[in-house]
Chains A and B, each alone.
Chain A
């Protein structure tokens, strides 16, 4: 299993859609074969069209608000000693998280295909909120599937979705979190694929959805590359890019331009959700060595039991609370290009406390997992090491959880 150079990772799959011969694919019911094929053709066509790229860049700049800033966390760095800690503040994007890139592109594709309805899944509520925003912007009718447990714990984002005119469909089956929301959304698409477009909220699902999402979030690393050159005159010699990984869309977007570099030069570190310290449950299939399985139309490392039943997960962060992970991250793990670890709920909360104490930054619980890793390794590293954390979401949505766990927000 080997990575190729000069080809975007999203395109390094075989004709059946597998990365490294075993991750990804399209395990879908017959009914979805045609709509998936149509979408694949359409996306293939659109991404080659100069007009479409122009449109995307226009909306990224004027609607999403690109580029998001790249800042040094001076106080945090000097407090910890060791490496310099920087942040790419993706949470500045319109809506407060990276999910806006994928949502915008899906809305543009939906328009191009002449469909009037768009549906999507959401965990933390950001994917849903952004899709509802993009739908409103482009005049599409929008339905968001969300686990009943997540609706309760991410209320601010639900309010936003409703304000944007989207219908939230609560999902009561299974664990009532993201995994069930994705299943229910796919079921809805099976029944309505003739007039409805489906947006998968992360780099998961059947092959084509991994590709579209990765193609959209890659904007983050395109910006970062330019910002690095501007800040340091050239790309520094020791960089570590730290990103949280649930489905893996922000991590892929943060890394895509840097995958061709040697890992001694630019190390890629993914941080999964380790769950509560004392719990056996977690949402870390990569770092806690889950077996390969098929979930939501793709093969990837999946938290599951011996029988192939999908395991319940547990995390304080709704956005990372997912038993599977993107096939491209499985590929990056097996080719050893990226390193994956996890942070517990407690570590993420402590990281949140520390970052907000020292910096004017308010990272949501998802990137707080990435900050936990940065805080852990920074003191042991040299001053010329540049640690960059993708602060991919804003904590406004977590206000109730933070109030409950830390006594304040």
Chain B
């Protein structure tokens, strides 16, 4: 998958001497139409867009993403809607990679093979499945690879050295490093310096893999983690959507401003 869109995005960022910016928003938050508009607008600044498929029992997500997910479900977003959001987005910008992220039960109920087929048809570039860890994810990951979809492995500060090697070996173009012991959107409780040290241990194993850091990254902290291949911001964006709705302001404009500022910090 050497020439995958995901790989190309990292290459482009590297050429510009900066980390790639990855955004996370929940599909259908707060409506199908709005979430597509948000996606289109922030893709001006984001290098890769993660799109969450909302689940009502998310065991690894903090308050901000939970709120977004509940809001989207309440507004009636279905898996097929998510695929149609991706399709429409890809017609608008076919050069931007889209990564779907969510929990395994939804894929399981939809049917693994049907899900992958739909991903391929709507041009999804990658998948993150939070509760399908290595090695249980091996079969699913290889199915993804056969269909030219990146299955993104996660690594955490608790991952042992031996596991780390095995996970990297089975990984595709991108690896997601969880910055600290936390659900999404927690306060950064480890110093950025320390996070980068841990991050470099992963890079040392295989320099060709693109490793991104996520969890707890905000406008305040993003600059300090600049050395990474990529940085993911999710909860801070979801929080802005919640805030904008509460204040009856334009979510698209407000969220785009946040993403633009994030990008400026790492340029």
Interface residues of A (CB under 8 A from B): 16, 25-35, 173-174, 179, 183, 186-187, 190-194, 291-297, 302, 304, 306-310
CB distance B158 to A187 under 8 Å? no
Interface residues of chain B: helix, strand, loop or mixed (majority): loop
CB distance B59 to A297 under 8 Å? yes
With beta carbons under 8 angstroms apart, the residue of A34, A187, A293 that contacts B183 is A187
Which of chain A's residues have a CB closer than 8 A to the CB of B160? 34
CB distance B154 to A294 under 8 Å? no
Q: How far is the CA of A28 from the CA of B183 in the complex (A)?
A: 12
Interface flags for B38-82 (1: CB within 8 Å of A; 0: not) read 000000000000000001111111100010001001000011000
CB distance A27 to B55 under 8 Å? no
CB distance B60 to A29 under 8 Å? yes
A-B CB contact pairs (8 Å), 21 listed: A16-B136, A25-B136, A26-B133, A26-B136, A27-B131, A27-B136, A28-B133, A31-B157, A31-B158, A173-B66, A187-B62, A293-B105, A293-B109, A294-B104, A295-B105, A302-B105, A306-B109, A307-B109, A308-B106, A308-B109, A309-B56
With beta carbons under 8 angstroms apart, the residue of B107, B109, B133, B183 that contacts A30 is B133
Q: How far is the CA of A222 from the CA of B182 in the complex (A)?
A: 41
Shortest beta-carbon distance from B238 to chain A in Å:
15
B132 within 8 A of A: yes
B231 within 8 A of A: no
Not counting A30-B158, A191-B186, a sample of 12 additional A-B residue pairs whose C-beta atoms are within 8 angstroms of each other reads: A27-B131, A27-B133, A33-B156, A33-B159, A34-B156, A179-B57, A190-B59, A191-B182, A194-B158, A293-B109, A296-B57, A307-B78
CB distance A30 to B178 under 8 Å? yes
Interface residues of B (CB under 8 A from A): 55-62, 66, 70, 73, 78-79, 103-110, 130-134, 136, 154-160, 163, 178, 181-183, 186
Which of chain B's residues have a CB closer than 8 A to the CB of A307? 78-79, 106, 109-110
Q: How far is the CA of A30 from the CA of B61 in the complex (A)?
A: 13
Q: How far is the CA of A292 from the CA of B62 in the complex (A)?
A: 26
CB distance A31 to B59 under 8 Å? no
Q: How far is the CA of A293 from the CA of B108 in the complex (A)?
A: 7
With beta carbons under 8 angstroms apart, the residue of B57, B59, B134 that contacts A174 is B57
Which of chain A's residues have a CB closer than 8 A to the CB of B183? 187, 190-191
CB distance A304 to B109 under 8 Å? yes
Q: How far is the CA of A297 from the CA of B105 in the complex (A)?
A: 10
Known: A187-B59, A308-B55. A31 touches B156 (CB 8 A): yes
Which of chain A's residues have a CB closer than 8 A to the CB of B110? 307-308
CB distance B158 to A296 under 8 Å? no
With beta carbons under 8 angstroms apart, the residue of B57, B66, B132 that contacts A295 is B57
Which of chain A's residues have a CB closer than 8 A to the CB of B66? 173
CB distance A31 to B181 under 8 Å? yes
